[in-house]
Amino acid sequence: MSPSRSRRQPPPDAAPALAPLRPGAPRAAVLGTGRYNPERVLTNAELATMVDTSDEWITTRTGMKERRIAAEHEHTSVLGANAARAALEQAGVDASEVDLIICATVTGDMVFPATACFIQELLGARKATAFDLAAACTGFIYGLEVASQLLEGGVHRYALVIGAEKIGSVTDWTDRNTCVLFGDGAGAVLLGQPREGQVAGPGVLASASGTDGSLAHILNIPVGGTRTPLTPENYGKNLHKLQMSGKEVYRQAVGNMVAACQDAMRKAGLGPGDIKLIVPHQANLRIIDGVAERLKIPTEKVFINVQRYGNTGAAAVAMALDEAHREGRFGRGDKILLVAFGAGLTWGATVIEW
Ligand code: UT7
């Protein structure tokens, strides 16, 4: 037995008793947010030395100027755990109190076990049930929906919802169509019931989501799964790296994101005028502008950081939410609209009252 293993506490014999829920108190309030951005910055200028591209093309087509790339030892779980720690610290909640961890990712540490299990271990969140959610860029939004329902139902008390991606590790760095678009990072929220004396809003008010599996082929990693295993024969084609028909994905993005936003707002009994800030998926500035325009939400109410981080998949909305929160872009009582779109195809929107 390794020394570290012998020091570890055995798992509890019985399921830990849940703290009694306070009648009337919100059960899925947002108690803390966090993010982690790897240090290494990859600029458009540097990409132009790697493939046939230019700062001008990337900036005008996407709005991106730079993105972060994780170090070799920074696995997806490390990124996710760092973001989760920041959320726990902000909430003043110890990892040992967390009883649910959902990690939204499509670039997990391994095929299995779930990256959430590695995060549980890194955090020391010994009593947490932990699993991954694979909905690509929409994963964090789906995760909020799942976690808030489990909390509302009294199944769990504190849930960490994490979006974490190391997309650089599945990027074909010779393909200019995709390699300029993505970056690595992680964001997290802690949902749960506020402590005595702690004031927090109700959290998730409403969600709307959708999937269209008939378009799975326009954004995927086609090789490496059970359908087409990676072999010495197909290795050189780089089909075990991310493939995207950018134009076709673009065509689907705005309409589905707008419909999801409208549906979520309708369910919450709100209109665009009630929204303090929209935090959209950061895949392309033109998509973000298109969504805001169609929803008639003015630019100053749209949070954008795509210029600094590129598209970080399931981490993008979570990272942007934390950045907006720490910048003081919204406060208690404000309604925030989150929306994402990604491979699957998947899409979803969530209205949160802070
Ligand atoms: O997060 C998941 C969801 N993903 C998205 O939402 C991404 C959606 N798609 C997009 O954001 C855009 O389609 C892209 C940014 C990927 C591409 O922009 P586009 O305006 O749709 O360009 P395009 O794919 O139609 O390419 C236009 C031209 C092509 O050249 P030709 O065929 O017109 O001669 C490309 O080969 O631009 C060329 N091109 C580039 N040129 C310089 C493609 N990539 C590059 C590049 N640098 N990096």
Residue-range domain boundaries for the chain: 29-192, 203-353
Q: Is the separation of the CB atoms in 330 and 336 below 8 Å?
A: yes
Kindly tell me if the per-residue pLDDT of 227 is higher than 70: yes
Q: What size, in residues, is the chain?
A: 354
H helix or E strand, kind and range, residue 146: helix 139-152
Please compute the mean of the pLDDT values over residues 292-296 and round it to a whole number. Answer: 97
Identify which of 247, 309, 319 to mutate to test ligand 1's pocket (most ligand atoms within 8 A of the CB): 247
CA of 178 to the centre of ligand 1 (A): 8
Helix (H) or strand (E) holding 83: helix 76-91
Portion of the chain with pLDDT greater than 70, in percent: 94
Buried b (16+ CB within 10 A) or exposed e, 19-32: eeeeeeebbbbbbb
pTM of the model: 0.94
Rg of the chain in Å (alpha carbons): 20
29-192: CATH topology: Peroxisomal Thiolase; Chain A, domain 1 (3.40.47)
Question: Cα 69 to chain center, whole Å?
Answer: 16
- Asked which of 4-13, 79-88, 151-160, 213-222 is least confident by mean pLDDT, the reply is 4-13
What would the two tokens of residue 295 be?
Answer: 């929803």
Q: What is the pLDDT of residue 24?
A: 77
The residue to mutate among 177, 307, 312, 346, having the most atoms of ligand 1 within 8 angstroms of its beta carbon, is: 177
DSSP string across 307-328: HHH-B-TTHHHHHHHHHHHHTT
For ligand 1, residues with CB inside 6 Å are: 53, 57-58, 61-62, 137, 176-177, 180-181, 246-247, 249-250, 253, 283-284, 287, 311, 341-342
pLDDT band at 6 (very low <50, low <70, confident <90, very high): very low
Q: Tell me which residues are annotated as active site.
A: 137, 281, 311
Distance (angstroms) between ligand 1 centre and the Cα of 223 equals 22
Question: CB pairs under 8 A, 24+ apart, for 143-146?
Answer: 143/102, 143/103, 143/104, 144/189, 144/191, 144/204, 144/207, 144/338, 144/350, 144/352, 145/204, 145/207, 145/209, 145/348, 145/350, 146/102
Mutate to test the pocket of ligand 1, among 250, 257, 285 (most ligand atoms within 8 A of CB): 250
pLDDT at 5 over 50: no
203-353 CATH fold = Peroxisomal Thiolase; Chain A, domain 1 (3.40.47)
Q: How confident is the model at residue 200 (pLDDT cuts 50, 70, 90)?
A: confident
Measured distance CA(20)–CA(195) in Å, rounded: 11
pLDDT digits (tens, 9 = 90+) for 59-98: 999 999 999 999 999 999 999 999 999 999 999 999 999 9
Q: Which of helix, strand or coil describes residue 168?
A: helix
233-281 pLDDT, tens per residue? 999 999 999 999 999 999 999 999 999 999 999 999 999 999 999 999 9
